[in-house]
Amino acid sequence: MNQSGFKIETGNRSDRLYLSKVGDVPIRVHRSVEGKIKQVIIKYGSGEWFALICAEETETQKKEIESVIGIDLGIKSFLTDSEGRVIENPMFYERWSV
């Protein structure tokens, strides 16, 4: 994995990707890069060049779970949850069949 030899420069008029041994290349950035860039892969396909940027994600704090519910889908009743609520089967097939 290469972790050097590249740099992304974004400006208000033009975005550029610097590649060692190649130089500055104008690019179109469709999404901002979040985290530390670990690798840049250059690919050619469909008559165009693409730069695939692999970045290390920053760890985000997870939300604490407040409540949990279990759901059972059955045959006699359509749905039964862990709090005891039961939703009857709507029986669409029996209503619409000839």
- Residue ranges covered by each domain of the chain: 6-56
- The percent of residues in the chain predicted with pLDDT above 70, rounded, is 89
Nearest in space to 6 (alpha carbons), one of 15, 17, 16:
17
Predicted TM-score (pTM) of the model is 0.49
**Per-residue pLDDT averaged across 70-87, rounded?**
90
For 56-75, what is the mean pLDDT?
A: 87
Nearby residues of 69 by Cβ (< 8 Å), 6 or more positions away: 81, 82, 83
Give the separation between CA 86 and CA 75, rounded to whole angstroms. Answer: 12
Is the pLDDT higher at 75 or at 66?
A: 66
Which residue type occupies 51?
A
